[in-house]
Amino acid sequence: MKAINKHTGKTVPLDRVNIDTDQIIPKQFLKRIERTGFGQFLFYDWRFNQDGSLNKEFILNENKYKNASVLLTGENFGTGSSREHAPWALNDYGFQIIIAPSFADIFYNNCFQNGILPIKLSKEKVKNLISKSEKNNDFILNIDLESQRIWDTEEEISEYFEIEKFRKHCLQNGLDDIGLTLEKEKEIKIFESNRSNIGGIIKNN
């Protein structure tokens, strides 16, 4: 998993509330088992018309938001089923930061397992960011995980965000559950060896 320490990226405002995981990645695209390749299906029913053509009215299809990596959105983002494909799709599309007033709990946890930093700010602060992004075709935000701070290019905006110390450590070091286990590989081997020596497991020679 790619580590996150500092990020500077273009924002895209998706001013909707209660966006669920089926809207993020529709169920017909869940058959793949790889984590990659889901970006093409992100918000599929919104990005494309029924005939498969681009929906030019959907914000992600506007040229001015091309290559955006910071998603600004409404409260309760990621509600619905617990599918891990949702953060896979967002990450594969290019989003590394999601800023919203609130997130569904399971989706929020899944973000940290997949190299996405979900940031909670008040409704008023998120609305302000969305408004600036809508008015400015190239609204850039800087995010520094170490100082837990967000600011814009002109530094008209400067916000502090909360994050649990353990989650912060994992993101800064690119650690998911597997990575955390591998960090303790030496200790695990010592434990298994000691358990074998006291009769917990018969050790094969």
| Domain ranges within the chain, ordered by starting residue | 6-174, 176-205
pLDDT, greater one: 186 or 14: 14
Q: Is the pLDDT of residue 198 over 90?
A: no
Handedness of CA 158, 164, 167, 170 (dihedral sign): positive
Report residue 128 as tokens: 């302000």
CATH annotation of 6-174 = 3.20.19.10
Instruction: Please report, in angstroms and rounded to a whole number, the separation of the first and last CA atoms in the chain.
Output: 36
Q: What is the rounded CA–CA span in Å between residue 180 and residue 176?
A: 6
What pTM was computed for the model? 0.87
Local confidence band at 154 (pLDDT 50, 70, 90 cut-offs): confident
Q: What single-letter amino acid sits at 41? A: F
pLDDT score for 193 = 61
Average pLDDT over the chain, rounded to an integer: 90
Six token digits for residue 133: 């992004």
pLDDT-derived band at 201, boundaries 50, 70, 90:
low
pLDDT for residue 202 is more than 60: no
> Distance between CA 42 and CA 19 in Å, rounded?
12
pLDDT greater at residue 36 or residue 7: 7
Give pLDDT tens digits for 62-85.
999 999 999 999 999 999 998 899
Above 90 in pLDDT, residue 194? Answer: no
